[in-house]
């Protein structure tokens, strides 16, 4: 497969997954706002900070109000990581590989983009943002289902799955981090019923509440963190995503699991091994935020290694190379 084609498929998938996870990210806060104690101040700036776009946000919008933050993260064409921008980039990548993807995939992606574009035009009159962000998640799920059912599970499909899983792993760490590090209104709330409500909201944002209760029963911060980071069976846990991503990576290269031929396989294998032998007690004692921050950095390095191993152009051309954002 041409590196250009593989690159476009990989980033198409990453951008669609990113759009879905930004919707989940906002929904964490929308859900938490419903359960805030009387007199508590709504917190919206932490979402921008955790997304790493605070400088751009201040430049474009200034104060972090509910309306400004939702507009920036969901609909702002000047924000390369907004839902609207992600879907625009995904559609551009899909257009360049129409001969590789199925017509059903192309049609679903177009419908997805048009839905979000229409919502952006009517944002000022949006009465139920929860419904919109739920629609974004369901449209992403539909695209994933169409892809699995209509695209041959060969090299292209594995690049598609690889991109989506790396993106999902990163965003799961950010969804967890936004609760643990930023959104707790006061230390006095730790261990209270309100704290449990917040952890339940985080699980709902990852579509994990029912599966968590089947596994662990009562809500416990340590068990929630363990479930979303280390669980090997839940599809949105970081470890599950990276296990499946590693399988796709080795299917692409033909290298046996447990060995490596390039930097991408080496770095991803190292992260998977660290998670396989991690204990949540050690993670918590060392600092959950610090662990999540380090994990996000490692995932960025995996992404860089995937680019260098499969997509990088020759050095004389590389300065002009750019993929959407």
* pLDDT, tens digit (0-9, with 9 covering 90-100), for 256-269: 998 999 999 999 99
What CA–CA distance (Å, rounded) separates 29 from 195? 14
Q: What is the pTM of this model?
A: 0.89
Q: Phi/psi at 168 (nearest 5 deg)?
A: -65, -40
Q: How far apart are CA 17 and CA 273, in angstroms?
A: 24
Nearest to 101 by CA among 196, 205, 16: 16
Distances (CA, A) of 150 to 40, 153, 196, 252: 49, 9, 41, 19
Burial of 48 (0-12, 13-18, 19+ CB in 10 A): buried
The pLDDT assigned to 112 comes to: 98
**Structure tokens given for 313:** 């152009």
Low-confidence ranges of the chain (pLDDT < 70): 34-42, 124-126, 179-195, 314-325
> What is the pLDDT, as a whole number, of residue 200?
85
DSSP type of residue 324: -
Within a 10 A sphere around the Cβ of 16, how many other Cβ atoms? Answer: 30
Residue 324, pLDDT score: 53
* Structure tokens, 100: 């590789």
Chain segment 182-237, per-residue pLDDT in tens: 555 454 455 556 667 778 888 988 899 999 999 999 999 899 999 999 999 999 99
Structure tokens at 287: 């600092």
What does the alpha-carbon distance between residue 95 and residue 98 come to, in Å, rounded to a whole number? 5
**pLDDT score recorded for residue 50:** 73
Dist CA 146 CA 22 (whole Å) = 21
Neighbour-count burial for 81-92, b at 16+ CB within 10 Å, e otherwise: bbbbbbbbbbbe
- Give CA torsion, residues 187, 188, 190, 191, to 10 deg: 170
Of 15, 9, 325, the residue nearest 170 (C-alpha): 15
Output the pLDDT for position 123: 76
Residue-level pLDDT at 320 = 44
């Amino acid at each position: 497969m041409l590196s250009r084609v593989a690159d476009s498929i990989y980033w198409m998938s990453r951008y669609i997954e990113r759009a879905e996870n930004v919707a989940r990210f906002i929904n964490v806060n929308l859900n938490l706002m419903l359960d805030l104690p009387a007199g508590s101040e709504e917190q919206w700036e932490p979402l921008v900070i955790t997304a790493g776009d605070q400088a751009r946000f201040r430049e474009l919008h200034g104060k972090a109000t509910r309306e400004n933050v939702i507009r920036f993260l969901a609909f702002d064409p000047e924000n390369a990581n907004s839902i609207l921008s992600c879907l625009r980039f995904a559609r551009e990548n899909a257009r360049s590989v129409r001969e590789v993807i199925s017509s059903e995939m192309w049609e679903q992606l177009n419908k997805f983009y048009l839905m979000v574009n229409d919502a952006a035009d009517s944002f000022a009159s949006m009465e139920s943002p929860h419904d919109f962000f739920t629609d974004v998640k369901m449209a992403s799920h539909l695209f994933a289902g169409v892809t699995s059912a209509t695209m041959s599970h060969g090299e292209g499909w594995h690049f598609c799955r690889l991109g989506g899983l790396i993106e999902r792993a990163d965003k799961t760490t950010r969804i967890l981090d936004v609760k643990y590090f930023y959104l707790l209104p006061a230390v006095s709330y730790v261990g209270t019923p309100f704290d449990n409500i917040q952890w339940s909201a985080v699980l709902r944002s990852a579509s994990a509440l029912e599966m968590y209760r089947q596994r662990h029963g009562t809500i416990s911060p340590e068990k929630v963190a363990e479930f979303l980071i280390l669980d090997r069976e839940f599809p949105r846990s970081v470890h599950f995503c990276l296990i499946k991503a590693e399988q796709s990576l080795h299917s692409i290269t033909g290298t046996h699991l447990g060995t490596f031929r390039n930097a991408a396989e080496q770095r991803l294998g190292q992260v998977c091994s660290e998670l396989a032998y991690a204990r949540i007690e050690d993670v918590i004692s060392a600092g959950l935020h610090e662990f999540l921050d380090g994990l996000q950095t490692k995932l960025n390095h995996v992404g860089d290694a995937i680019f260098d191993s499969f997509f990088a152009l020759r050095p004389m051309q590389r300065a002009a190379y750019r993929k959407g954002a």
